[in-house]
Copies of this chain bind each other. A is one copy, B any other.
Amino acid sequence: MENRYRIGIDLGGTNIAVGLVDENWSITARCTLSTRAERPAREIIDDMAKAAETVMAQAQVEKEACLSVGVGSPGTCDEKTGEILYANNLGWRNVPLAQELQKRLGLPVYISNDANCAALGEVKAGAAKGCRNALLFTLGTGVGGGIILDGKIFSGGRSCGAELGHTLLMAEGEPCTCGRRGCIEAYASATALIRDTKREMERTPESLMHAAAEGYGKVNGRVAFDAARQGDPAAKRVVENYLRYLGEAVVDMINIFRPDIFILGGGIANEGAFLLEPVRAFAARYAYGGALNPLPEIVCAALGNDAGIIGAAALEG
Interface members, chain A 139-174 (any B CB < 8 Å): 149, 156-164, 166-171, 173
For residue A205, CB closer than 8 A to chain B, the reply is no
Give, as a whole number of angstroms, the nearest-CB distance from A295 to chain B.
Answer: 10
Provide the bound-state CA to CA distance between A286 and B158, in Å: 17
A256 lies within 8 A of B162 (CB): yes
A160 lies within 8 A of B85 (CB): no
A132 lies within 8 A of B161 (CB): no
Taken together, the copies of this chain in the complex come to 2
For residue A48, CB closer than 8 A to chain B, the reply is no
**For residue A286, which residue of chain B has the nearest CB?**
B180
Q: Which of B133, B157, B158 contacts A157, CB < 8 Å? A: B133
Given A167-B252, A256-B256, A257-B161, A76 and B179 touching (CB < 8 A)? Answer: no
Q: Which of B76, B149, B248 contacts A289, CB < 8 Å? A: B76
**For residue A253, which residue of chain B has the nearest CB?**
B167
Q: How many residues of A contact B (CB 8 A)?
A: 48
For residue A251, CB closer than 8 A to chain B, the reply is yes
Provide the bound-state CA to CA distance between A254 and B167, in Å: 9
Interface members, chain A 255-307 (any B CB < 8 Å): 255-260, 285-286, 288-290, 292-294
Given A132-B157, A133-B158, A289 and B85 touching (CB < 8 A)? Answer: yes
B292 lies within 8 A of A163 (CB): no
**For residue A76, which residue of chain B has the nearest CB?**
B289
Given A163-B288, A168-B168, A256 and B294 touching (CB < 8 A)? Answer: no
